[in-house]
Amino acid sequence: MLTLSQPQSLPPGPFLIKSFAASVQAGFPSPAEDHQIERIDLMHQLVKHPQATFMLRVAGHSMRDAGILDGAVVLVDRAIKPESGHIVVAVVDGDFTCKTLHMGRNSLRLVSANPDFADIVPKEGQSIEVWGVVVATIVQHPT
């Protein structure tokens, strides 16, 4: 389930951070490389449709196994056409939720990424609207 504070579009202007040309190993360290630092605009890398992109904070654990943790921020692009397999934000009977969209020929299912949570299969008269497609997840780690 997502809590929705006031949707915020991205503020104008670039957000420049330092970036190394090399990748970092998560297993065994690699020998030192020539690390050239360049500046990149993080929002430019993540946001393709600024007027249609919103940040929402996630509350809950139903998408844990997809790497979307409680307290994370998701970037949601409303300009992308949702397809089966996309992680989406949907409105189910007026409440926001984040799930993986599965569409069949005549069916729709919102799938959790945690076996402790049931999938959402629309029932007769139930209102479901796919609100937008999740394009990135931002998780802040304790320092």
Q: Provide the percentage of residues in the chain whose pLDDT is more than 90.
A: 54
Q: Which of 43-52, 57-66, 124-133 has the lowest mean pLDDT?
A: 43-52
Average pLDDT over residues 15-38: 55
The 128-138 sheet, strands edge to edge? 53-57, 73-77, 128-138, 87-92, 95-103, 108-111
User: d(Cα 67, Cα 119) in Å, to the nearest integer?
Assistant: 17
Q: Domains of the chain by range and CATH?
A: 16-45 (no CATH), 49-138 (2.10.109.10)
Q: pLDDT per residue over 50-108, tens digit each?
A: 899 999 999 999 999 999 999 999 999 999 999 999 999 999 999 999 999 999 888 89
For the record, the structure tokens of 142 come out as 């304790």
Q: 62 near 99, Cβ under 8 Å?
A: yes
Prediction pTM value? 0.74
Of 119 and 41, more confident: 119
Tokens read off for 73 = 């921020």
| Amino acid letter, residue 25 | Q
As annotated, the active-site residues are 62, 99
Our CA angle for 75, 107, 53, nearest 5°, is 15
